[in-house]
Amino acid sequence: MSTIAGESSSSSKMPENSQPTTTEKGSEYLEQLANEAEELRKKLDQERHKLNDIPIQQAAERLDVMGALGVKQRRILKGHVGKVLCMDWSLDKRHIVSSSQDGKVIVWDGFTTNKEHALTMPTTWVMACAFSPSSQMIACGGLDNKCSVVPLSFEDDIIQKKRQVATHTSYMSCCTFLRSDNLILTGSGDSTCAIWDVESGQLIQNFHGHTGDVFAIDVPKCDTGNTFISAGADKHSLVWDIRSGQCVQSFEGHEADINTVRFHPNGDAFATGSDDATCRLFDLRADRQVCVYEKESILFPVNGVDFSLSGRILFAGYGDYRVGVWDSLKCARHSVLYGHENRISCLRTSPDGTAVCSASWDCTIRIWA
Amino acid sequence: MENIKASTEQLCAEANIQRKKVSEVSKELLDFCEKNKTNDMLVSGPTDQHNPFQEKKSCSVL
């Protein structure tokens, strides 16, 4: 537990592919720019390093160790016949939407485990799904490169009401509504994120900056600011200004694809999970990585992370079928939840913090509380 | 060329932001957790009202 940050070393991988320019002047200018970028990079690293004074686990020594939690599997939602790829809670803290590799999207009552709606999408691999804030609509999509919305009602055949809202040039990996039922934020394999107007299907803002597939996005719960975060195959997490479309901060540290990202409930920090088998905590105000959650015995990718209501627990769903329960402040693993029989693909805490839900390639969704 | 220019501008903007020390943000994270601890059912257990997910399903058992 000695290292807190894995950054600094591999800072530059930039200007190698600089194209040969026709004029001497052009190449001089290019060189000058590259030097400038290198200097800035160094300065940035130094500045961030300077602020790394006391590790968080040392500050957390004054806290009591968490006792036994009594968290165990309370519900199992069965009905998918393919790998479950994504799930999302309704703000009513009760309903759950899930999507799977065989093209099905199911809306569940989490209390009773009943299926309330089921629809079949035209393509398989529905990689993303989301509940709207009013709980009256869901959004989903994936390999079809599209994000579609479906209003939920018991009167009609809801698939007839399905509408396409967004189109990317590659698969859609993640989506979430933004503050209302009218705006949707999507992330894609085309390495961009975008905000769309649900009613008109118009692109409101797009976000260019990632150099690889985007796998995850998140919006702060206490949504006062105008930011969101995204992360993906380029190992970087980017913070975006929603209004300007500009990237305002970028965070590095992971050594492989980032699969999942989630804001801390305070809205100023966020956690990530990666193929490098670690979770990490980054803080926007410190502009750097604050903690790494890792163990030598953990070798599998993290595909879902989320915090408990106070932020004390970081839940992580792994490729080794387990849910790791981390003390986010002491940076130590508290316990492990067993149950799934294949890799976990997605994990979310319920909006009021009463339960954690995990989706898995074992075709089930499980609720832990 | 455009790429390098853009990324230099990006770095420039990032280099100029205000930062806090890790000790400061750690303290804020700790305080936030302590303040919200009693409402965090997964840490402190259900308070006066039950956690609906921890109640047994009415028609469970076998």
How far apart are the C-alpha atoms of A184 and A166, rounded to whole Å?
9
Q: Using the structure block, give the residue that is written with the tokens 């840490």.
A: B43
Higher pLDDT: B30 or A24? It is: B30
Q: Using the structure block, give the residue that is written with the tokens 């990079």.
A: A41
pLDDT at residue number B49: 64
Going by C-alpha positions, the residue among A302, A366, A362 that lies closest to residue A100 is A362
pLDDT at residue number A16: 45
Q: Quick check: A94 contacting B, CB < 8 Å?
A: yes
pLDDT at residue number B58: 52
The interface predicted TM-score of the complex, written ipTM, equals 0.87
Q: What is the CATH number of domain B1-50?
A: 4.10.260
> What domains lie within chain A, and their CATH numbers?
81-291 (2.130.10.10)
* Other beta carbons within 10 Å of A112: 13
Query: How does pLDDT run along chain A (369 residues), one tens digit per residue?
Result: 344 443 344 444 444 444 444 567 778 888 888 888 888 889 888 888 888 889 999 999 999 999 999 899 999 999 999 999 999 999 999 999 999 999 999 999 999 999 999 999 999 999 999 999 999 999 999 999 999 999 999 988 899 999 999 999 999 999 999 989 999 999 999 999 999 999 999 999 999 999 999 999 999 987 667 999 999 999 999 999 999 999 999 999 999 999 999 999 999 999 999 999 999 999 999 999 999 999 999 999 999 999 999 999 999 999 999 999 999 999 999 999 999 999 999 999 999 999 999 999 999 999 999
Q: Assess contact for A48 and A287: CB atoms under 8 A.
A: yes
How far apart are the C-alpha atoms of A241 and A245, rounded to whole Å?
6
pLDDT at residue number A14: 41
pLDDT at residue number A294: 98
pLDDT at residue number A2: 40
Q: Judged by CB atoms within 8 Å, which residues 3-32 of A form the interface with B?
A: 14-15, 18-19, 21, 26, 30
Torsion angle, alpha carbons of B6, B8, B14, B16, to 10? -120
pLDDT at residue number A13: 40
pLDDT at residue number A219: 96
Q: Where are the alpha helices (DSSP H) in A218-305?
A: none
How many residues are there in chain B?
62
Residue B20 has pLDDT above 90, yes or no: yes
Q: Quick check: A299 contacting B, CB < 8 Å?
A: no
Q: Quick check: A287 contacting B, CB < 8 Å?
A: yes
Q: Can you tell me the mean pLDDT for B52-60?
A: 65
Sheet holding A313-318, edge to edge: A302-307, A313-318, A323-327, A332-337
Q: Where are the domains of chain B?
A: 1-50
Q: Assess contact for B8 and A37: CB atoms under 8 A.
A: yes
Quick one: closest CA in B to A368, which residue? B53
pLDDT at residue number A110: 97
pLDDT at residue number B46: 76
Residues of A in contact with B19 (CB under 8 A): 47-48, 51, 285-288
How far apart are the C-alpha atoms of A107 and A295, rounded to whole Å?
36
Q: Quick check: A44 contacting B, CB < 8 Å?
A: yes
pLDDT at residue number B62: 44
Residue B19 has pLDDT above 80, yes or no: yes
